Amino acid sequence: MSNAPVLTCGDPGIGDALAALLDRYGLQLKRHPEQAPLPGSWWGEPEAGIVGTTVHVRPDTPLHSALHEAGHVICMDAGRRAKLHTNAGGDDLEECGVCYLQILLADALPNVDRERLMRDMDAWGYSFRLGSTKAWFLEDAADARAFLLAHGLLDTDDRLGFACRQAPPPVSADESDATLAPIK
């Protein structure tokens, strides 16, 4: 782990945008105060925690950690997600899919993009065979991408699916048969 500055969940504009992004997947972002314990944190504070479909963060939680843990919730099968507390489990291929997905998720956040997130991942100490996150993403992540494609988590143009693995896709307002009562 490096002391280089990385984007955190407490940086201006990050928390609300992250909450909105996770909401598109049916996940919740629970923001805890500084110094508070984080439920479900595998690595300990300030790293993000996961319990069920909730990602737990503090202002000093690195954004890459929150996106990584959200990626675990998105990538795991429904049975594991239903029992999730702290340990995401999964295999090496799923872990690679999580890393690839967290990079794509960064593009969905304002004032964040994959380039910045990959630099933050390198600064924090992620380790890839080719020496950097960017080299891995561009040259060695075909298996990770194939995993995400196989589970409908992105399309062939790397567009996010905004649904968790084995979850029903979100229904657009045009496709819904729900009706709202008139506002009085």
CA distance 61 to 6: 10
- Locus of tokens 């905004």: 162
Q: Would you call 62 exposed, middle or buried from its count of C-beta atoms within 10 A (0-12, 13-18, 19+)? A: buried
Handedness of CA 113, 147, 39, 23 (dihedral sign): positive
Q: Are strands 49-51 and 28-31 parallel, antiparallel or unpaired?
A: unpaired
pLDDT single digits (tens) 97-134: 999 999 999 999 999 999 999 999 999 998 888 899 99
The side-by-side arrangement of strands in the sheet containing 28-31 is: 28-31, 54-57, 49-51
Residue 172: the pLDDT is: 57
Q: How many CA atoms lie within 13 A of 176 on its CB side?
A: 8
* Residue 167: pLDDT band with limits 50, 70, 90: confident
Residue 171: pLDDT band (50, 70, 90) is low
- What letter would DSSP give residue 78? H
**Confidence check: pLDDT of 9 > 80:** yes
User: 10 Å Cβ neighbour count for 33?
Assistant: 7
pTM for the model stands at 0.89
pLDDT at 170 over 70: no
